[in-house]
Amino acid sequence: MSILITGGAGYIGSNTTRLLADSGERIIVLDNLQLGHRAAIVSPEVELVVGDIGDPVVVEDIFSRGQIDAVLHFAAWALVGESVEQPLKYYTNNISAPLVLLDAMRRHGTRHFIFSSTAATYGNPVRVPMDETHPQEPINPYGRSKLTLERILADCGPAWGLQHVILRYFNAAGSSEDALIGEDHSPETHLIPRTLMAVAGTAPPLTVFGTDYPTPDGTCVRDYVHVMDLAVAHAKALAYLRAGGESTACNLGTGNGVSVQQVIDLAETVTGKKVPREYGPRRPGDPPSLVADPSRARSVLQWTAARPDPRTIIESAWRWISGPRGGRY
């Protein structure tokens, strides 16, 4: 039995791939390497298939070679701003392409699907912290594309027996403990690596968007979760489905909010250097606070973030950015 991991050469997918491979799972990664990195697959026993999840020939070849026990689906476009400018790119890749994958699963009898979703499916918060019953009203095509696939999965359950776990991430950050796998996006838009890149001199000064939010220090508050904790959550979701668990959705976060200013302060403490920065107006669509209620993941998957301290997360990210690879593959 094999596990198919789509987008397994990407940031979160590669950390999950390594964790499962190290536990003895037979892994096939399907990645077109447009966003992923061949060097992020550090386990030699993992098979990499370079191709697209929307290519029926490639997908059929994988499923016809042997029994796929489960699919972990990470492959997606994930830039909010870009999704606003190019919505069809996001609807094609994040909705249409996975239908090819799901159809192959249906025909070959694969019933377990773990979906890398996002807190962006909730849209602007009506309450904080946000649990899974929070209204889902995404405010951009990226969030809408993820929510649409969530609803497709719900329809596939009664139709042909698909069992799924939807994992809604809040803000992933950090690197593997040995700093071999880290966050390498182009462009880099995430706050923690962007802050540390400004310190390292590999990116322009950080822009702080808005200092007048109704938060303790006036800057946005977010819930940061270590990428290795996300990898563990996928392993637990797989064990849950294999044990006969029913389809569910779980938030993945720490339940603790950290402001932009706090990230800057911690980055200066960790690096011993000032963060070059400038200040700008609020960005449209940025809510003041997004914090997870992760209690369902704790009760259903027996998962809790083991590295909730934001300093630990920033130290991990700094090891990657300041390490031998300089934050790049």
| Pick from 44, 105, 100: nearest CA to 70 | 105
Cβ atoms of 111 and 145 closer than 8 Å: no
- The active-site residue, picked from 11, 90, 122, 142, is 142
Identify the CA nearest to 231 among candidates 16, 3, 35, 5: 16
Q: Is position 142 annotated as part of the catalytic site? A: yes
Q: Are 302 and 236 contacting, i.e. CB atoms less than 8 angstroms apart?
A: yes
Please report, in angstroms and rounded to a whole number, the separation of the first and last CA atoms in the chain. 31
Where do we find the tokens 């946000």?
130
SS (H, E, C) the chain: CEEEEECCCCHHHHHHHHHHHHCCCCEEEEECCCCCCHHHCCCCCCEEEECCCCCHHHHHHHHHCCCEEEEEECCCCCCHHHHHHCHHHHHHHHHHHHHHHHHHHHHHCCCEEEEEEEHHHCCCCCCCCECCCCCCCCCCHHHHHHHHHHHHHHHHHHHHCCEEEEEEECEEECCCCCCCCCCCCCCCCCHHHHHHHHHHCCCCCEEEECCCCCCCCCCCEECEEEHHHHHHHHHHHHHHHHCCCCCEEEEECCCCCEEHHHHHHHHHHHHCCCCCEEEECCCCCCCCEECECCHHHHHHHCCCCCCCCHHHHHHHHHHHHHCCCCCCC
Active site residues: 142
